[in-house]
Amino acid sequence: MGFLEYSEVYANYYAKVYRQLFYMLNDPFLAEDLAQEVFLKFYQNPPGKEGSAGAWLFRVAKNLAYNYLRGEDNRKKREIKFWLLRRDSEIFHLLEEQIYVRQVLAKMDERDRMILIMKHSGYSYEEIAEVLGVKKTSIGTLVARAHRKFKEYFKEEV
């Protein structure tokens, strides 16, 4: 892969990969670090299939985020302690909502969770379809169902 091709992929996908990682990790600095790692992996070993850059980048970003989260079992407790010590009710309310969102996403099955993360990270229906291995025409329905399930679970959490 030439530098110009890499630059084009980077320009087209960096923001999407960053948002995906930020949504998964809730840490802008960590999301930026892992996004750089995703693109370094892409540059060193690009996918073989032409036109699959978005799906490849999504999968690598997802795997890196999950690997990080596996090592961070106590993250929620540390965040809550920090914000409680700060006693800023508005910020604490936002943090509390983020915790609820993560709890809801954790209850959802992998496919629905990934659909929502990809959709809200800016991936196109075509890219989501490629990752899931389904037709592009069914993505709208899958997104709507995932949103509906999310709302149901969120009401249970709150």
Task: Flag whether the pTM goes above 0.85.
Answer: no
The closest of 98, 84, 80 to 25, measured between CA atoms, is 98
CATH assignment of 95-158, given 3.40.50.2020, 1.10.10.10, 3.40.50.1820, 3.40.1190.20? 1.10.10.10
8-state DSSP, 134: S
- What is d(CA 61, CA 37) in angstroms, rounded to the nearest whole number? 9
- Under 8 Å between Cβ of 75 and 64: no
Tell me what pLDDT residue 156 has: 74
Tell me what pLDDT residue 154 has: 85
- What is d(CA 71, CA 92) in angstroms, rounded to the nearest whole number? 24
Apex 103 CA angle, 99 and 104, nearest 5:
120
Cβ neighbours, 10 Å, residue 132 = 16
Q: Largest alpha-carbon pair distance within the chain?
A: 51
Tell me what pLDDT residue 40 has: 93
Tell me what pLDDT residue 109 has: 92
- Domain covering 1-73, topology: Rna Polymerase Sigma Factor; Chain: A (1.10.1740)
- Under 8 Å between Cβ of 100 and 158: yes
Amino acid at 118: M
Where are the domains positioned within the chain? 1-73, 95-158
The residue written with tokens 């990809």 in the block is 118
Tens of pLDDT along the chain (158 residues) come to: 566 688 899 999 999 999 999 999 989 999 999 999 999 999 888 887 666 888 999 999 999 998 888 767 566 666 666 666 666 566 667 777 777 888 888 889 989 999 999 999 999 999 999 998 999 999 999 999 999 999 998 887 55
The closest of 107, 97, 157 to 89, measured between CA atoms, is 97
The closest of 65, 64, 59 to 133, measured between CA atoms, is 59
| DSSP H or E segment with residue 157 | helix 139-157
Amino acid at 125: Y
